[in-house]
């Protein structure tokens, strides 16, 4: 009926869905939404219709997106142990350290446990990477992103 290709309609619908979901995720204001769609070159009437569509449905879209989000496990406790192998039958003098950790997690009212084992050098590297990530979270750019995600 529209004399338009299927791909054009599919891309248009996907673009509209993307516009509404991203705008709803960020809870952008009416002015920011209008600024975002003005650059698309639509008519004023269509821009008003898109704005009204966004305002009418943003809370429902956020609710649906919240339900679709994966429920990730949360930290409960950690048990750890340091094991050191000092010798074996073939090697009389060797030092082979290993750190064994039992990570207890909560997920949907259930408790699970994961057992992890690593050498101290890998554990130190992991700690450095996590500390670097925490340091980056304190930067203004990351704070702005996290604030907009809520």
Tally of structural domains, the chain: 3
Q: Is residue 142 part of a domain?
A: yes
Domain range holding 16? 6-68
Angle at alpha carbon of residue 86, lines to 82 and 91, rounded to 5°: 145
The per-residue pLDDT for range 101-121, each reduced to its tens digit, is 999 999 888 899 999 999 999
Q: Are residues 41 and 56 in the same domain?
A: yes
Q: With 60 as the cut, is the pLDDT of residue 38 above it?
A: yes
CA distances from 10 to 7, 16, 21, 129 (A): 5, 10, 16, 42
> Of the candidates 81, 85, 103, which has an alpha carbon nearest to the alpha carbon of residue 94?
85
What is the rounded average pLDDT for all residues in the chain? 87
The per-residue pLDDT for range 79-99, each reduced to its tens digit, is 999 999 888 778 778 888 999
Whether this prediction's pTM lies above 0.85 is answered by no
Q: Are residues 56 and 105 in the same domain?
A: no
Q: Is residue 56 part of a domain?
A: yes
Q: Are residues 100 and 144 in the same domain?
A: no
CA distances from 90 to 83, 84, 148 (A): 19, 16, 60
Q: Is residue 86 part of a domain?
A: yes
Q: Are residues 112 and 60 in the same domain?
A: no
């Amino acid at each position: 009926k529209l004399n338009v290709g299927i791909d054009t309609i599919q891309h248009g619908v996907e673009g509209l869905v993307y516009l509404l979901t991203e705008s709803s995720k960020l809870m952008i204001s009416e002015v920011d939404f209008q600024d975002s769609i003005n650059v698309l070159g639509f008519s004023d009437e269509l821009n008003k219709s898109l704005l009204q569509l966004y305002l009418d449905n943003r809370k429902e879209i956020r609710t649906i997106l919240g339900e679709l989000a994966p429920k990730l496990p949360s930290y409960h406790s950690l048990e750890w142990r340091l094991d050191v192998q000092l010798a074996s039958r073939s090697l009389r003098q060797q030092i082979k350290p290993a750190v064994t950790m039992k990570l207890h997690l909560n997920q949907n009212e259930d408790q699970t446990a994961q057992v992890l084992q690593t050498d101290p050098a890998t554990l130190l590297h992991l700690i450095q990477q996590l500390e670097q990530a925490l340091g980056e979270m304190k930067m203004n750019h990351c704070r702005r992103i996290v604030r907009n995600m809520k």
